[in-house]
Structure 1
Amino acid sequence: MNPLLSRLQPYPFERLRQLHAGVTPNPAYSPISLGIGEPRHATPQLIKDALIGSLAGLASYPGTLGEPKLRQAMSDWLARRYGGLKVDPATQILPVNGSREALFALAQTVIDPGQPGATVVCPNPFYQIYEGAALLAGAQPWFAPSEPARNFGIDWAAVPQAVWEKTQLLFVCSPGNPTGAVMGLSEWELLFRLSDQYGFVIASDECYSEIYFRDEPPLGGLEAAARLGRHGFKNLIALTSLSKRSNVPGLRSGFVAGDAALIKSFLLYRTYHGSAMSPIVQAASIAAWADEAHVIDNRAQYREKFAQVTPLLAQVMDVALPDAGFYLWAAVPDAFKGSDTAFSRELLALYNVVVLPGSYLARDAQGCNPGAGRIRMALVAQTAECVEAAQRIVQFIQSKVH
Structure 2
Amino acid sequence: MNPLLDRLQSYPFEKLRKLFSGVRPNPAFTPINFGIGEPRHPAPDFIRQALADNPAGLSRYPATLGTIALREAIANWLARRYGIPAPDPAKQILPTLGSREALFALAQTVLDPAGHGIVVCPNPFYQIYEGAALLGGAEPYFINASPEMNFACDYDSVPQEIWAKTKLLYTCSPANPTGAVMTLPQWKKLFELSDRYGFVIASDECYSEIHFGTPPLGGLEAAHQLGREGYPRLIMLSSLSKRSNVPGMRSGFVAGDETLIGKFLLYRTYHGTAMSETVQAASVAAWNDERHVEENRAKYIGKFREALPVLRQVLNVAMPDAGFYLWAEVHEKTGLSDTEFARGLYESHHVTVLPGSYLAREAQGENPGKNRVRIALVAEPEECREGMARIAEFARQHS
Tell me the TM-score normalized by structure 1: 0.98
Question: Structure 1 residue 85: deviation in Å?
Answer: 3.4
Residues in 2 aligned to 1:216 and 1:57: alpha-carbon distance in whole angstroms: 38
Question: Structure 1 residue 335: deviation in Å?
Answer: 5.4
Question: Structure 1 residue 303: deviation in Å?
Answer: 0.2
- The residue correspondences of 1:290-305 to structure 2 (distance < 5 A) are 290-305=288-303
Give the number of equivalent residue pairs.
399
Q: Deviations over 1:124-177 (max 9, x none)?
A: 000000000000000000001211123322111111111100000000000000
Question: Structure 1 residue 61: deviation in Å?
Answer: 1.2
**1:367 aligned onto 2:365:** yes
Is residue 169–residue 202 contact of structure 2 (8 Å, CA) maintained in 1?
Answer: yes
Question: Structure 1 residue 338: deviation in Å?
Answer: 4.9
Residues in 2 aligned to 1:231 and 1:219: alpha-carbon distance in whole angstroms: 17
Partner of 2:2: 2
| Amino acid corresponding to residue 367 of structure 1 in structure 2 | G
| Amino acid corresponding to residue 300 of structure 2 in structure 1 | Y
Residues in 2 aligned to 1:192 and 1:153: alpha-carbon distance in whole angstroms: 16
Residues in 2 aligned to 1:354 and 1:216: alpha-carbon distance in whole angstroms: 30
Percent identity at matched positions?
64
CA RMSD of aligned residues (A): 0.9
- Structure 1 residue corresponding to 2:348, chosen from 328, 347, 350: 350
Q: Deviations over 1:216-241 (max 9, x none)?
A: 20000000000000120000000000
- Structure 1: gaps (5+ residues): none
Tell me the TM-score normalized by structure 2: 0.99
Residues in 1 aligned to 2:228 and 2:46: alpha-carbon distance in whole angstroms: 36
Q: Deviations over 1:185-219 (max 9, x none)?
A: 00000000000000000000000000011x32000
Q: Deviations over 1:70-101 (max 9, x none)?
A: 10000000011011433111100000000000
**1:138 aligned onto 2:137:** yes
- The residue correspondences of 1:333-348 to structure 2 (distance < 5 A) are 333-334=331-332, 336-348=334-346
Q: Deviations over 1:279-338 (max 9, x none)?
A: 101001000000000000000000001100111101111101101000000001335435
Partner of 1:126: 125
Residues in 2 aligned to 1:298 and 1:379: alpha-carbon distance in whole angstroms: 12
Is residue 84–residue 221 contact of structure 2 (8 Å, CA) maintained in 1?
Answer: no
Is residue 334–residue 395 contact of structure 2 (8 Å, CA) maintained in 1?
Answer: no
Partner of 1:322: 320
**1:180 aligned onto 2:179:** yes
Partner of 2:32: 32
| Amino acid corresponding to residue 95 of structure 2 in structure 1 | P
Partner of 2:97: 97
Residues in 1 aligned to 2:303 and 2:350: alpha-carbon distance in whole angstroms: 20
- The residue correspondences of 1:359-398 to structure 2 (distance < 5 A) are 359-398=357-396
Partner of 1:211: 210
Is residue 177–residue 326 contact of structure 2 (8 Å, CA) maintained in 1?
Answer: yes
SS in 2 for 1:145: strand
Residues in 1 aligned to 2:104 and 2:336: alpha-carbon distance in whole angstroms: 33
Residues in 1 aligned to 2:247 and 2:6: alpha-carbon distance in whole angstroms: 29
- Structure 2: gaps (5+ residues): none
**1:114 aligned onto 2:124:** no
Q: Deviations over 1:51-77 (max 9, x none)?
A: 011101112111100001110000000
**1:19 aligned onto 2:23:** no
| Amino acid corresponding to residue 354 of structure 1 in structure 2 | T
SS in 2 for 1:308: helix
Is residue 358–residue 376 contact of structure 1 (8 Å, CA) maintained in 2?
Answer: yes
Partner of 1:273: 271
- The residue correspondences of 1:119-268 to structure 2 (distance < 5 A) are 119-213=118-212, 215-268=213-266
Is residue 338–residue 372 contact of structure 1 (8 Å, CA) maintained in 2?
Answer: no
